[in-house]
Structure 1
Amino acid sequence: MQAISYWLKAYGESHQNPINQKIHKVAVPGIFLSVVGLIWSIPQLSLFGFSLNWVWVAAIPALVFYFWLSISVFILMLAYTLACIGFIWSMEILNWPVLPISMLLFGVLWIFQFVGHKIEGKKPSFFEDVQFLLIGPVWVFFKQ
């Protein structure tokens, strides 16, 4: 497993343009939120009378990855993940259409991401390594 400094440096290499950075500051956390909403929308798993939302199944491996990077990254991403889950849960309580909103957010924000990379002149990092999809939010939160 590579160190967090490696991941942040490697991710930052394709995110030098200030416009691309600004787009990422909004789009990356929004995409993370939309993915939580998409996974939340999958019908719950029922086992032995207990219902489990798939978002917890997806969050655990991601959080283990963050834990391996560093305790501070883990705490940061645990907090953000729980905030996203809380927000999506609130949307559901308010009877907002979680799935369509999440799909719209996901699509629009990815378009912005690709526009940012067109401006940057470099392809997105995840084309080289899919793990960069998990590094993006960390980079956004650590980037000043």
Structure 2
Amino acid sequence: MRSLKQFLDTYAESHQNPVNQWIHVFCVPAIFFATLGLLWLVPIGRFIPGVSAELAPYINLATVFALFVGMPYYLRLSFGSLVVGAVWSLLSFAGIVAIQSHGLSLLWISATVWIVAWAIQFYGHHVEGAKPSFADDVQFLMIGPLFVMQKINRLVTTGSIHPTTH
């Protein structure tokens, strides 16, 4: 498996345009949230013997994917990647539970956000003039959040999402 640096360097190759980078800063978190929101709607807990009625709604395709696919994948890359994946997942789950607790439609909200954010991302890649990285390797769908965190970290520390040149 490639290293985190190799993944991020390859991902960055098709994300050079500032417009595309800003689009990703907003749309990658939206897609991450919306994907987990859609997966949340696939219940698993009620089919597992011995799972209480209180716990069953929280055992779904989203939580199972996060725990058994996402977190191990990020941990293989680095502990910091695991922390990023865990925080993004927990924030997404909190938003999902909040939506449901307010009686709003998680299906419609997640589906709308997912479609709109992907459409904007594809526009960003049109502006970039490069296809999305995941077209060559689906693993890049998991690298997007790490790329965005790199951009956010750079923004916080330098005031810009773009690397400084010396």
TM-score greater than 0.5 by the shorter chain:
yes
Summarize deviations over 1:18-70 as a string: whole Å, max 9, x none.
00001000000100000010011123432114122221111121110000000
What is residue 160 of structure 2 aligned with on the other side?
none
Q: Count residues with an aligned counterpart.
A: 144
TM-score by length of 1: 0.96
**Superimposed CA distance per residue, residues 68-114 of structure 1 (whole angstroms, 9 cap, x where no aligned partner):** 00001101110111110111011111111001100000000000000
Distance 2:129 2:77 in 1: 29
C-alpha distance in structure 2 between counterparts of 1:53 and 1:86, whole Å: 14
Partners in 2 of 1:12 and 1:30 — Cα distance?
19
Contact 2:70–2:85 (8 Å) recurs in 1: no
Distance 2:131 2:60 in 1: 34
Structure with the bigger percentage of strand: 1
Question: How do residues 1-144 of structure 1 correspond to structure 2 at under 5 angstroms?
Answer: 1-46=1-46, 47-50=48-51, 51=56, 52-60=59-67, 61-143=69-151, 144=154
Gaps of 5+ in 1: none
Secondary structure of residue in 2 paired with 1:95: coil
Cα root mean square deviation, aligned: 1.0
Structure 2 residue ranges without an equivalent (≥5): 155-166
Residue 2 of structure 1 aligns to a residue in which SS? coil
Identity of aligned residues (%): 38
CA radius of gyration, larger in? 2
Question: Bigger relative contact order, structure 1 or 2, given CA contacts below 8 A and separation 6+?
Answer: 1
Letter in 1 for 2:62: V
| Runs of 4+ displaced beyond 4 Å | none
TM-score, normalised relative to structure 2: 0.84
- Structure 2 letter corresponding to 1:58: F
SS of the residue aligned with 2:92?
helix
